[in-house]
Amino acid sequence: MADIDLGAFFEAEFAEHAAVAAATAAALAEPFGRLVGHGVRTVRAGGKILFFGNGGSAADAQHLATELTVRYVRDRAPIAALALTTDTSALTAIGNDLGYDQVFARQIQALARPGDLALAITTSGKSRNVVLALQAARDLGVVPAALAGKGGGDLLGLADPLLVVPSETTARIQEMHITLGQMFCGALERSLGLV
């Protein structure tokens, strides 16, 4: 076993987390407000919010869609939300028949309607399947929004609103994504007068 100063490691991780959290709070209030505004308009118009991403971001997509369809703070009317990461038959069929780059775009084309909100979650902003899905969303009149990091990658000029966590560290970006995602759920249900 490698010799590691666990106390120093622990302190350094929390220090980096706190620094990224402070930078995120300073940078993203305006695009966060626009994201919530789009969410409110989508739900009030009878639309839905579609979440998607790869790996840990796929787990966040599933988590956040559930917060909206079930509840976030307390019992309330459900909010229409889907995670495009959970239908294994769709994911494997699309991946096998059309290619993995199409796993989210094809579902957007099938399920999304103008006025819906497509919310991608990606640490790099460079995942081809995420980029293609947001392009498909935009083409359909669906709001192409994203949570990203590492400067935004290929989502610059595509996703709007685009919330780019000011960090290059995947773990810190993911921590901010779930924080921003849960804040989105809380702000949405309050803005809709559901709690």
Of 30, 49, 43, 46, nearest to 143 by C-alpha is 49
**Of 195, 193, 183, the residue nearest 35 (C-alpha):** 183
The mean pLDDT of the chain is 97
- Give the residue-averaged pLDDT of 98-127: 98
Residue in the structure block whose two tokens are 């949570």: 147
130 contacts 120 by C-beta, under 8 angstroms: yes
As a whole number of angstroms, the distance between CA 99 and CA 189 comes to 36
The CA radius of gyration of the chain, in Å to the nearest whole number, is: 17
In a domain, 15, yes or no: no
Identify the helix (H) or strand (E) that includes residue 134.
helix 128-140
Please compute the mean of the pLDDT values over residues 162-171 and round it to a whole number: 98
Residue 65: pLDDT over 80:
yes
Task: Judge whether 12 lies within some domain.
Answer: no
Looking at the domain assignment, is residue 154 inside a domain? yes
The CATH number that applies at residue 164 is: 3.40.50.10490
pLDDT at residue 139 is higher than 70: yes
User: What average pLDDT does this structure show over 21-35?
Assistant: 98
Q: Which residue has the tokens 């790099």?
A: 124
Q: Is residue 8 a part of any domain in this protein?
A: no
Longest dimension (CA), the chain: 58
Domain count, the chain: 1
Cα–Cα distance measured from residue 90 to residue 102, given in angstroms and rounded to the nearest whole number: 11
Which pLDDT does position 2 carry in this prediction? 76
As a whole number of Å, the end-to-end CA separation of the chain is 50
CB 108 within 8 A of CB 50: yes
* pLDDT given for residue 108 in this prediction: 98
Decide if 119 is inside a domain: yes
Residue 8, burial from CB neighbour count under 10 angstroms (0-12, 13-18, 19+): exposed
Is residue 40 pLDDT above 70, yes or no?
yes
User: What pLDDT, on the 0 to 100 scale, is given for residue 1?
Assistant: 66
Number of C-beta neighbours around residue 15 at 10 A? 10
Query: Is the pLDDT assigned to residue 39 strictly greater than 90?
Result: yes
SS3 174: helix
Indicate whether 20 belongs to any domain.
Answer: no
Residue 42 placed within a domain: yes
- Position 3 confidence tier, pLDDT thresholds 50, 70, 90: confident
d(CA 144, CA 117): 7
Q: Is 106 part of any domain?
A: yes
- The boundaries of the domain holding residue 54 are 29-191
